Structure 1
Amino acid sequence: MFKQVTIQADQRGLLFRKGSYMKKLQPGTYRYWSGLQTTVVVMDMAKPFLVEGRELQLFLHDEDLVRELEIVQVRDHEYVLHYEDGQFIQLLKPGTYAYWNILKNHTFLHADVRNPELPAEIDRSILPRLAVHVQAWEIASYETGYVFYDHVLQRELAPGKYYFWKGPVSVMVKPVDGRQQQMELSGQEIMTEDKISLRLNFVCQYKIVNPIRSLEMKSFDEQIHIQLQLILREYVGTLKLDELLKRKEDIASFVLSRLQEKGEAFGIHFLSAGVKDVILPGEMKDILNTVLLAEKKAQANLITRREETASTRSLLNTAKLMEDNPTLFRLKELEFLEKICEKIGSISLTGGGDLLDRLDSLIGEKKAARK
């Protein structure tokens, strides 16, 4: 009994006899006696060369077959990008692969994952298809980045986007912000020399000028915060409350100078500092308000006494001038009469005589009565 097998132009056949591979079959029709335990496996040349249940090494002794195959070996420390006719198809993991090279042109790009950064030859447009195997880091325009392999610093990164393989090497990118930054110390409780507890709200601005130094420090922000606390305590603890309130503006200059002394150790440059608020306990506020109110009342009384004294002195000087100058006295009388007339709507007089004479006699009678 015969078996017939037809192999198309885009196919190849693999002839097995008693389970052992014999040779490759070209397109055509073949007939075999079934008693010879002969089988033919028909291979689609558009698909990878893969025979179920058989290792690739069993076929590599056939030179005729190998000439029509593109064989690629991916080592343990590699990823290989597989392209067909220039189009990315897949990423190959460690192993050995074979593809028919008759219908399509196969090319391979080897990437050593011991060097985690993706090669420049890899088109960034295919990266979404590699998302499982690739990690991305982005450095903003105002940042400086530093890349570490297995916690060892490798190099500085300029602003941009960077891609690294997820492989045996641990990758960490640490960005450092180069913009002006601000640190606030809110509600810091400090005791003055005279044992009065108060709270300060303080703020300082700084820029990182040595990013490497800042990365070498654990809890960088916390250490600056603690340093600021210590400097404030050093200054406030040497002053009494009254001195502190009078010299409040000096706190900023003192703290800034001390921070600048320590700036190099932190890799930063302190730009400015200032006190936002000095918050006193409730009972201390009441005491200070009472003192302030008493001081203002005393100042107001002093001003009133000065004005009264000045007014009395002015009246005395005027009286002396009128006593020595009758004409001036007469003018003052007329001024007084003018003011009386401004307050009176109408004046009724009985009897004859001139109006001015009557008023003059009236004033004369009042003077006589006062004498």
Structure 2
Amino acid sequence: MFMITVEPDQRVVHYRDGRLIGVLEPGRYRRTRRSRYVPVDVRQQLTQTAPQEVLTSDGVTVKVSATVRWAVSDAAAYLQAANEPFSFVYLAVQVALRERLADVEVADLLGPARSGVTEALTAAAVAAGQPLGVAVAEVVIKDVIVPAELRNAYAEVITTRQRAQAQLEAARAETAALRSMANGAKLLDDHPALAMLRMIQAAPYGTKIVLGSVPAAEAAAEE
């Protein structure tokens, strides 16, 4: 008696006399006569698209590549719907990437707005793969290559922005220090005893400090 074992990471499509009988889940089965068994790997896979040149809405040509995370969801459909099922998903991602980036500026593509592009790519890939037995988990933009002169311009903008931020922080610190000194000076003017105490605390160790009262004649003159 011949047996067939289906591993946890695969499904086996069972044909008899050229007809689809069913899909075998993980387990051990008895082989039948005139049957053909085709194993299909159902583990998740990563496929990267080739970089393609795309024109953004602000007229900049960039090279963009994406990565698709997918797996076989229906082994029978995957074998029967098309000769190379994933090629249809691949094409859908490439087309969606070109169409979506036509409405996006290059600055947005390099920033947080990229998430909106990836959502559109994933939706297109899911729609293309579903009838072919392909389940697409996500599509992410992997690389965005911009022209060298544009990279240099962006680097200069970032450097200027950081330099301005540093100057602003230094100005804020200096303003805070001056405000603190002004408050301290006013406090000392209002409280002479505190000023004298501060002078004593600031004097180096061993310094002789003479504290005297105002002469009586000067006090009488002041009165």
Corresponding residue SS for 1:194: coil
Note closer, same or farther for the CA distance 1:239–1:154 as it changes in structure 2 (3 Å cut).
closer
Query: 1:264 Cα deviation (Å)?
Result: 2.4
2:198 maps to 332
Q: Which has the higher contact order (CA 8 A, sep 6+)?
A: 2
1:230 equivalent to 2:95? Answer yes
> What is the rounded CA distance, in whole Å, between the counterparts of 1:161 and 1:204 in structure 2?
37
Note closer, same or farther for the CA distance 1:225–1:311 as it changes in structure 2 (3 Å cut).
same
Answer whether contact 1:191 1:236 (CA < 8 A) is retained.
yes
1:310 equivalent to 2:176? Answer yes
5 Å-filtered alignment, 1:100-179, equals 141=7, 142-147=10-15, 152-156=18-22, 158=24, 174-179=38-43
Greater share of residues in helix: 2
> What is the rounded CA distance, in whole Å, between the counterparts of 1:178 and 1:239 in structure 2?
35
Query: 1:179 Cα deviation (Å)?
Result: 2.2
Corresponding residue SS for 2:51: strand
Answer whether contact 2:66 2:142 (CA < 8 A) is retained.
yes
Structure 1 stretches lacking a partner, 5+ long = 1-119, 125-137, 166-170, 348-354, 362-371
Per the normalisation by structure 1, the TM-score is 0.48
Moved over 4 A (4+): 159-165, 171-174
> What is the rounded CA distance, in whole Å, between the counterparts of 2:46 and 2:33 in structure 1?
33
Greater share of residues in strand: 1
> What is the rounded CA distance, in whole Å, between the counterparts of 1:177 and 1:321 in structure 2?
80
How many residue pairs get aligned? The number is 204
Task: Please tell me the residue identity of whatever aligns with 1:248.
Answer: R
1:200 maps to 64
Structure with bigger gyration radius: 1
Post-superposition CA distance 1:159-192 (Å, at most 9, x none) = 7796989xxxxx9764332222222224343221
> What is the rounded CA distance, in whole Å, between the counterparts of 1:261 and 1:223 in structure 2?
10
Answer whether contact 2:57 2:105 (CA < 8 A) is retained.
yes
1:219 equivalent to 2:91? Answer no
Task: Please tell me the residue identity of whatever aligns with 1:356.
Answer: I
Structure 2 stretches lacking a partner, 5+ long = 213-223
1:98 maps to none
Post-superposition CA distance 1:74-122 (Å, at most 9, x none) = xxxxxxxxxxxxxxxxxxxxxxxxxxxxxxxxxxxxxxxxxxxxxx6xx
Post-superposition CA distance 1:182-203 (Å, at most 9, x none) = 2222434322111222233322
> What is the rounded CA distance, in whole Å, between the counterparts of 1:225 and 1:265 in structure 2?
14
1:280 equivalent to 2:146? Answer yes
Answer whether contact 1:139 1:175 (CA < 8 A) is retained.
no
CA RMSD of aligned residues (A): 3.0
Per the normalisation by structure 2, the TM-score is 0.76
